[in-house]
Structure 1
Amino acid sequence: MATVDRSSPLPAYFQVAEDLRRRLAGGEWRTGERIAPEIALARDYAVSRVTVRQALAQLAKDDLLERKRGSGTYVRPQPLPIVYDLNLTLGAYAARLRDLGFSNRAEIIESGTLESPPAGLAATLALSAGRTVTYLVRRVIINEQPAAIYRSWFDAAMVPGIERSPGIQGSLSNVLAEDYGLVPVRSELSLEVVRSTTDEARLLDSGSDVPLLVVTSTSHLRDGRPLERAQMSWLGDRVRFHVTSEAPGRR
């Protein structure tokens, strides 16, 4: 355990928080275990309980600790980072997760029809005048923790009634293939980092204004027609992305 350096320009609470962070990383306390009480930590670091309380509040803000009123401070379980393979369809990725022992499912949050879709969306889906769009909003649950919000838009004429299909709570790819005979062969992807909205934070059971990794894609059928415009907003602390590329001429 480090001592607080009174000559340091760093605040005492910050020094205590950093040392506690080191002790947590070293496994001094197990996940779910209650750490030493404030009065003991104040004595160990030779600081006031107010300073200790500030340090614990910082670590709670960083999701390392959980304060329970009247009980104490506990080591917060850390979610296992999910590696999302951008080379896979979501259906294939879900199957891989199951093979790795993860549970996963999708919950329908909202669905409906856009009678007058925005011009940009209509152009992306190559819609002629008067065509409508069916949209789905689903929440992806992995290991019983919200991990992503998945928004989809389709030419309504290509997928009539898809919003009523029970299969979309599992694999949307399977529903498209088995119920509509639609199998994408190409997808264009872009990736950006944004801050969550209040509604997104609520759906993902996260703090407000947290970073989201957003994958926006457009999938195409073999004949070149656009099939789906999709946007997946992943919690930044629960996912890492993986992609494989090949040098030209090495296929």
Structure 2
Amino acid sequence: MNAISHSGIREAIRARIVAGEWKLGELIPGEADFAEEYGCSRTTVNRALQALADEGIVERKRKGGTRVRPLPLPPAQLRIPLLREQVEESGAGYRCEIRERKLASVPADLRGRLKLGRGDRAVYLETLHLADDRPFAFETRWVNLATVPEFEHAEFGDLSANEWLVRRVPFTRGEVAISASAATADVAAILGATEGAALFTMERTTWLDDRPVTAMTLIYAAGYRLEFTI
């Protein structure tokens, strides 16, 4: 039987990271462990892990092992936690439902943010995030296929689209706008709110270097409170 190649090991480890086998920032097995598991040399594993490090999927430190790359945390800047983290830290169980997913033309007001022209298409998603099966937040998102072509046919498993993107395409910078928006009839029905109620709303655009990755709007259910440290 032919030994597995370093590229095969790279893709196998990548798939396990995307599937959430290890959390962001978590130490993954060492070269000797992977070599034994895949029946190959440590040199082959080293090449695979270095390729993942070059892609920004993992980070490696001498004598410190290899970790799944955590979210970028620039000094003195706000870290916005994943929705799963927010829900689970409150003691509730997290779940998400994709209500709509399609390939569509990007609205005029988003073309500039995503560097797309008239008629260019992107993936559009609507996702409901739940805490103990109660509405927590409603998300609309556009993903630029010029930056993340594999997103079009991606399978998320139990991950949200945001978690999938963070694991697959760690962003290098982002812009965030926070406001209160009046709940439309549709949003009010989804979140169990009163139509016209002021709901905490976050708009975010992220980039990988100079390439736009995604633009999203997140509307939280009534009573949401954002807490963070600086």
- TM-score greater than 0.5 by the shorter chain: yes
Consecutive unaligned residues in structure 1, runs of 5 or more: 1-85, 246-251
The question of whether the paired residues in 2 share the 8 Å contact of 1:153 and 1:229 is answered with yes
Alignment of 1:104 onto 2:89: no
How many residue pairs get aligned? The number is 153
Moved over 3 A (4+): 157-166
Supply the distance in 2 between the matched residues of 1:104 and 1:163 (Cα, whole angstroms).
24
Consecutive unaligned residues in structure 2, runs of 5 or more: 1-77
1:79-90 equivalences under 5 Å are 87-90=79-82
2:107 to 105, 111, 118: 118
TM-score w.r.t. structure 2 length?
Answer: 0.58
2:220 to 234, 237, 248: 234
The question of whether the paired residues in 2 share the 8 Å contact of 1:107 and 1:140 is answered with yes
CA RMSD of superposed structures (Å): 2.4
Alignment of 1:204 onto 2:191: yes
Deviations 1:188-228 (A, max 9, x none): 1111111111111111123322221110011111x221111
Shift of 1:100: 4.6
1:146-225 equivalences under 5 Å are 146-160=135-149, 162=151, 165-167=154-156, 170-177=159-166, 181-221=168-208, 223-225=209-211
Amino acid at match of 2:92: F
TM-score w.r.t. structure 1 length?
Answer: 0.54
Shift of 1:244: 3.3
1:142 to 112, 131, 139: 131
Q: Percent of pairs identical after alignment?
A: 25
The question of whether the paired residues in 2 share the 8 Å contact of 1:111 and 1:163 is answered with no
- In the superposition, relative to structure 1, how do residues 210 and 157 fare at CA in structure 2: closer, same or farther (>3 Å)? same
The question of whether the paired residues in 2 share the 8 Å contact of 1:108 and 1:169 is answered with no
Supply the distance in 1 between the matched residues of 2:111 and 2:164 (Cα, whole angstroms).
23
Structure 2 residue matching 1:240: 3-state secondary structure: coil
Residue in 1 that maps onto 2:8 = none
Larger radius of gyration: 1
- In the superposition, relative to structure 1, how do residues 235 and 148 fare at CA in structure 2: closer, same or farther (>3 Å)? same
